[in-house]
Structure 1
Amino acid sequence: MAVLVLLTGVGSLLAASWAGCRLQVLLLGAVSFLLLTSFLKRRHPKNYPPGPRRLPFLGNFFELDVEQSHLSLQKFVKQYGNLFSLDIGNLHCVVVSGLPLIKEALAHKDQTIVNRPVFPAREHIFKKNGLIMSSGQLWKEQRRFALTTLRNFGLGKKNLEERIQEEAHYLCEAIEEMKGKPFDPHFKINNAVSNVICSITFGERFEYQDAQFQELLRLLDETMCLEAGRWCQLYNMCPAIVKFLPGSHQTLFRDWNKLKSFVAQMIEKHKEDWDPEKPRDFIDAYLSEMTKYSGNTTSSFHEENLVCSTLDLFFAGTETTSTTLRWALLYMALYPEIQEKVQAEIDRVIGQSQPPTTAKRELMPYTNAVIHEVLRMGNIVPLNVPREVTFDTTLAGYHLPKGTLVLTNLTALHTDPAKWATPDTFNPEHFLENGQFRKRDDFLPFSIGKRACLGEQLARSELFIFFTSFLQKFTFKAPANEKLSTKFRMGITLSPVSYRLCAVPRG
């Protein structure tokens, strides 16, 4: 009996061992299959740009520092040159550096590298709608309509400049209320800049004490940070799995949905007293355009696109300009001698009582140069907005298949030691020649080609009027016992970390 029990035990052990071996073999086979599949999918075509070795599934994901991804790419420029490839998960990317190659990619080849890649996180929120990340005929129709409508409601006209002057006045009043005490200018500037685009899109401005609008600005700021974070990148790599996991990507989706709900509520409010004969703003004009295509199921003019396009204008018209102005005040506090020169030019050309106008910009080369140096050093969109190869093409003799993601290395362009005398130092002389303002071909903060920033003219006007208004009324200094730095926060845009300033009224 004992022998029988022993034999039975041995048999059970052997069976369990064999089952375990079979499980290990199956797991090993599955992993091998996935690795092989990943390898085959990741194989690049002949004559593809060179790049660093890639890991299965992850590609070069861990070679990029999420806190300063634009800087971690620069080592590859030195190693592989002005065109190199990277894989981020299953995304095949190439990074383009150097002015000639950037121009070839974005301007000369704008029919082949003109689309926007739709990342899973963005698709989850916007589908393929809106102005920024849409492509093809949809993008052409939406961009054409947006440009026409922005012009109709003041872009490039005196009345829009008057709105900017008015908002600059309100903001200076709000800063004056601080009575020279330390304050964080972040959301005051956000609110003021946002009010300019809100007057065009929504037909109204929002008070700086409006709690609901302050919450919207906070949500917008949070999305800028989360969308560039590790969780969102993991979602883009493997949405089918990551969508079930908790993480900051879930917060991102909730924030965007709240922002979309705000825009949708504004649209419903417009419908209540909408007069097609008297459009008041972008939403009214879009509602009129929608009626032209009523019943046309293939039209890109529908309510979901209205929500997304309006939100794109709200985001783009708020984030980039306000972030640049925050960098501007920070640099003025860090470089008081430059601030004094700007103030001397303002006093000489405008005085302290007249509001700044863009007509005076040509008479103020130093102030203009300082604003451009802020754009260079602030570097708020360091890799430009990504593009996608529309169909197979070649660039610098290399083959780029359809769907390849194209990143433009503006960081390298704007800090090239062969082009800029002091690339890592704030120096307005980069944009001056014999005391006159100097335009530079190797300076592309608004990009180039057909997908260049459609709000460039508005942004330039805002930057000049707001910045000049600030320094006309105040001198900006670091608070006592507080040290300012140029550390940045990585997000969709590169923004300064939170800081406080003292705005001392000028006598």
Structure 2
Amino acid sequence: MLGTTTVFLALILGLLLIHFVKLCIWAAKLPPGPVPLPIIGNLWTLRFELHPRTLMKLAKTYGNVMTIWVGQAPIVILTGSESVREGLVTNSEQLSGRPLTPFLNFYSEGNGIIVSNGENWKQQRRVGLQILRNLGLGKKSLEWKIQGEANRLVDVFTSKKGSPFDPRLFIINAVNSVISSVIFGHNFSLDDQTFHHLTESSDSVSNFYGSSWGQLYDAFPWLMRHLPGPHQDAMRHLHFLMDFLMQEIRQHQQNPSTEPQDFIDYYLNPISKNKDDRSSMLDERNLQQILLDFFLAGSETVASTLRWGLLYMALYPEIQAKVQQEVDAFLEKSLTVQYDNRKDLPYTYAVIHEIQRNSSVVPFGLPRQITEDIKLQGYQIKKGTVVVTSLASALHDPNIWKSHETFYPSNFLDNNGNFQCNDAFLPFSAGHRVCLGEQMAKMELFIFFTSLMYAFNFCFSQGSKVNTNGILGTTFTPHPYQICAIPR
């Protein structure tokens, strides 16, 4: 007679086999991909993280439209510039939905701009864009703020007197000061403990989502909520950020300005005006979430790109020298470099774009959800399917770029040395969900980078070892490094 243990194991194996067969039947209706295992899907194949290099290798086997299983959830991955653009641009509206994965639901509960859907998303995006324009987006007033922070950053680097230092906190503070002045009406000093707590919390939340722990949380939320680990730290830090933002809103309500000075002021006005309008979705919870969206997205990506930029300039001194030569020649005729001058500095502008391309700071757009049945690269994709676009694969597509694996500014120059871009350059995504702060980020990168290149020669101290592999989270950030800023 069979023992209880044997019967139990046979039952478990039978259930796993049935589940595996169901997975295979379900997978057959989706684009091809590696065979999913019961319970964990393809997490083992992915080494528990969606790394762009891993996905590009898988795409060579399964094609540029493939299915990856994160636990029990299938995700269609678009790789390569052609499929990514077909998804984001050609089918922009159909891919404008945002799935509320377990972590994204915890992050926003469907509020704000980045993770919201439907009418709420439309209202928040429309109001958010209008307020940014009121605050100087695309105007000289915002550029002056950026220039002021760039000058202060130069002063901080000068104080190091050429000694090796980690530029991370100084760059984050400068970039945070720009977005903080726009949304809060004030900024933070380097000595402010609130700034350090905000930086720590922002890092924790930003780095968690794209990490292996983030994949595990989305695959097994019911289990992870009860286990210790970095996900618990991310939740705690997210609570801190939300509490801080609500305090900022309350302070503005208690001390109203006669004329709006920042994003909170501008948003609070229509809340009071539309309080009796049932169709209005403008409220404090959405405001709180938009502030978080702007604070995280508006600082982490720009700061990481600038850190990659200094690293590349130290690694490639001949490129750095060529940038400095162009900037020096321009400033012999002008007092300052302004954003409009990017056309007069084609090599410098190409280098900035190559920093963005090569580093791929945002390797993936946040997940999309298909709002109606569509055809992508010949595959029928059903409404409700979750789609992830590999922006990094478009930025490293060997069919598009002259040199896709190395740092090569000529990717953005024509034969006459004039700046040129192409449709595969998608660091801010594209279509309906394109980054709302794209224009501000471009201004910041250009002004900060040219200011630093004019003021310093960047190099590593003798014997330094630099890790250029990067750290994958929601963004792709450089490993900490020490650099020397030698005043010119």
Q: TM class by shorter-chain length?
A: over 0.9
Deviation at 1:473, TM superposition (A): 0.6
Q: What SS class does the counterpart of residue 44 from structure 1 fall into?
A: helix
Q: Which amino acid aligns with 1:137?
A: E
Q: Give the letter for the 2:430 counterpart.
A: I
- What amino acid does structure 2 have at the position aligned with 1:244? H
Q: Which amino acid aligns with 2:108?
A: F
Cα deviation 1:108-130 (Å, max 9, x = unaligned)? 21222111121102212321112
Cα distance change, pair 447–231 in 1 and its aligned pair in 2 (3 A):
closer
Pairing 1:314–2:286 present? no
1:81 and 2:63 equivalent?
A: yes
Contact 2:31 2:379 in 1 (8 A): yes
Shift of 1:278: 1.7
User: Could you tell me how far apart the structure 1 residues matched to 2:79 and 2:419 are?
Assistant: 26
Q: Return the index of the structure with the highest Cα Rg.
A: 1
1:36 matched to 2:18: yes
SS at match of 1:406: strand
After superposing the two structures, state which structure 1 stretch, 213-222 or 99-108, moved more: 99-108
Structure 2 counterpart of 1:246 = 228
Mapped to 2, the partners of 1:44 and 1:293 lie a distance apart of: 47
Find 2:89's aligned residue among 102, 107, 127: 107
| Separation in structure 2 between the aligned mates of residue 42 and residue 401 of structure 1, nearest angstrom | 17
Conserved? CA contact 1:202–1:283, under 8 Å: yes
Residue 81 of structure 2 aligns to which amino acid in structure 1? L
SS of the aligned residue for 1:407 comes to: strand
Pair 1:280-2:261 in alignment: yes
Which stretch shifts more, 346-355 or 132-141?
346-355
- CA distance in 1 between partners of 2:233 and 2:406 (Å): 37
Q: Distance in 1 between matches of 2:148 and 2:18?
A: 63
Stretch moving more, 385-394 or 186-195 = 385-394
Contact 1:125–1:257 under 8 Å retained in 2: no
Match of 1:122 in 2: 104
**Post-superposition offset of 1:66:** 4.6
Q: Which residue of 2 aligns with 1:13?
A: none
In the other structure, the counterpart of 2:327 is 346
In structure 1, which of residues 366, 383, 391 is the aligned counterpart of residue 347 of structure 2? 366
Do structure 1's residue 357 and structure 2's residue 338 form an aligned pair? Answer: yes
Whether 1:376 and 2:357 are equivalent positions in the alignment is yes
Letter in 2 for 1:241: L
- Please give the root-mean-square deviation of Cα atoms over the aligned residues, in Å: 2.0
Q: Deviations over 1:242-272 (max 9, x none)?
A: 2111111111100111111111111111111
Cα distance per residue 1:117-162 (max 9 Å; x no partner): 2110221232111211112111111111110000000100110000
Q: TM-score, normalised by structure 2?
A: 0.95
| 2: CA distance, partners of 1:296 / 1:37 | 49
The residue identity in structure 1 corresponding to 2:428 is: F
Q: Does 1:93 align with 2:75?
A: yes
Cα shift readout 1:291-318 (whole Å, capped 9, x = no counterpart): 2332556642222211111010011110
Cα distance in 1, alignment partners of residues 334 and 307 from structure 2? 24
The residue that corresponds to 2:252 in the other structure is 270
Greater displacement, 288-297 / 378-387: 288-297
Query: Contact between 2:178 and 2:187, CA under 8 Å: does it hold in 1?
Result: yes
- Measured after TM superposition, the shift of residue 478 of structure 1 is 0.2
Counterpart of 2:471 in structure 1 is 489
Matched position secondary structure for 1:134: coil
Aligned to 1:226: 208
Q: Which residue of 2 aligns with 1:503?
A: 485
| Partner amino acid, structure 1, of 2:485 | A
- Which residue in the other structure is 1:336 paired with? 317
**Aligned-pair distance for 1:484?**
2.5
CA offsets, 1:437-483, max 9 Å, x none? 11212211111111111111111110000000001111101022212
Cα distance in 2 for partners of 1:369, 1:207 equals 32
Q: Which residue of 2 aligns with 1:465?
A: 447
Partner of 2:175: 193
Residues 1:211 and 1:45: Cα distance change in structure 2 (over 3 Å): closer
TM-score (norm: length of structure 1): 0.91
Residue 430 (structure 1) aligns with: 411
Distance, in Å, in 2 between the alignment partners of 1:122 and 1:410 is 20
Alignment match, 1:421: 402
Distance, in Å, in 2 between the alignment partners of 1:251 and 1:98 is 35
Distance 1:25 1:401 in 2: 40
State the partner residue of 2:431. 449
State how far apart, in whole Å, the 1-side matches of 2:207 and 2:261 are: 33
Indicate if the aligned counterparts of 1:82 and 1:97 stay in contact, CA closer than 8 A: yes
2:271 counterpart letter in structure 1:
M
Matches of 1:124 and 1:44, distance apart in 2: 28
Runs of 4+ residues deviating >6 angstroms:
none
Q: Which amino acid aligns with 1:278?
A: E
- Percent identity of equivalent pairs: 41
Change (3 A) 1:129 1:479: same
Q: Output one character per residue of 1:218-244: Cα deviation in whole Å (capped at 9) or x when no partner.
A: 221122222223333222112112211
Conservation of the 8 A alpha-carbon contact between 1:120 and 1:239? yes
From 254, 266, 274, give the equivalent of 1:293. 274
Q: Which ranges of structure 2 fall in alignment gaps of 5 or more residues?
A: none
User: Per the alignment, in what secondary structure is the counterpart of residue 196 of structure 2?
Assistant: helix
Q: Aligned pair count?
A: 487
Aligned equivalents of 1:201, 1:139: Cα separation in 2: 19
Contact 2:79 2:394 in 1 (8 A): yes
Counterparts in 2 of 1:68 and 1:116: CA distance versus 1, 3 Å = closer
Corresponding residue for residue 60 of structure 1: 42
Q: 1: CA distance between counterparts of 2:353 and 2:68? A: 31
Confirm whether residue 203 of structure 1 aligns to residue 149 of structure 2.
no
CA distance in 2, matches of 1:299, 1:34: 49
